[in-house]
Amino acid sequence: MKPQAKKPAPTIYEQAPEIKPGQSIELLKELHILTRDGKLNQDSRRKLKQVYHLVQFIAPLLQDVLQDHPGATVVDHGAGKSYLGFILYDLFFKGRDDGSRIYGIETREELVQKSGELAARLGFPGMSFLNLSVAESTASDALPPTVDVVTALHACNTATDDAIDFALQKQAKHIVLVPCCQAEVASVLRKNKGRDLGRSALTEIWRHPIHTREFGSQITNVLRCLRLEAHGYQVTVTELVGWEHSMKNELIVATYKNLPRRRPAERLHQVLAEVGLEEMAARFDTGATATPATPD
């Protein structure tokens, strides 16, 4: 009887079907999404799913940019290990020769250095990494005067607002935000709670401490959306992935459409007044561009 032919070892794509054809295996190993022997554990599978899902939102925005002009400029704030930037470059920009560039902005110098070394090793020339805070990047000469897409994935507390400031100043066409912990508004609500409790029955929404924190987070994102609308953006709010994967799950996508601006600007200031946050008007400033480009 003939010996049975030995089955070939499964390919890495068969072992981990989530990996897309042509994707850099070396990159996934360097990002510790794949183990050295090509395995994908449950935590890495969850992380990869989140990044893929975000890339699905961003890819059509990049296509939109490239219809206007060759080469897209993406700035990723709070980049960390640059999971998003690297996978976006690998799946969308690799092999293009159109001047597209991804900038990763990160305050931890060691991560900036490692990301730069990895991009060089992988042959990803269109990636740059800058050791800056989000706020510092707005005035930095290392970035172009205008950019196409701004992302901020889990940028904590006021870093998301700094990313919005950056996007507005750089005239970004598209903005993609996944806000993280948000304490600033909640702290103001907490400080003014005694003053406001007798003013309106609405203060019951944030009277208890846990509700103060939750409502503070919710109203922060509402105000951010109104601010973007008051600058002429069309805003969509959805969830990034299912709640079973992450509680920091809200995805805000804004696209500049030069929409009428007076009504959202008025609504923003009305909300601030209604919940006793007038002192935060500067944080959510609508600026001179709140004047509508077209009549409401």
Provide the pLDDT for residue 285. Answer: 83
276-285 mean pLDDT: 90
Residues 36 and 146 in one domain: yes
Structure tokens at 23: 């994707």
Domain final residue, candidates 179, 196, 213: 179
Contact 221, 277 (CB under 8 A): no
**Residues comprising the chain, all counted:** 296
Counting the structural domains of the chain, the total is 2
- Band (pLDDT 50/70/90 cuts) for residue 289 is very low
Residues 140 and 196 in one domain: no
Global pTM? 0.88
Contact 223, 268 (CB under 8 A): yes
- Report whether pLDDT(271) > 80: yes
The neighbour count for residue 231, using CB atoms within 10 Å, is: 22
Largest CA distance in the chain: 91
- Band (pLDDT 50/70/90 cuts) for residue 44 is confident
Provide the pLDDT for residue 2. Answer: 59
Q: Specify which residues 262 forms β-bridges with.
A: none
pLDDT digits (tens, 9 = 90+) for 97-156: 899 999 999 999 999 999 999 999 999 999 999 999 998 999 999 999 999 999 998 877
**Of the listed ranges 91-105, 158-172, 212-226, 242-256, the one predicted with least confidence:** 242-256
- Band (pLDDT 50/70/90 cuts) for residue 7 is low
Residues 108 and 255 in one domain: no
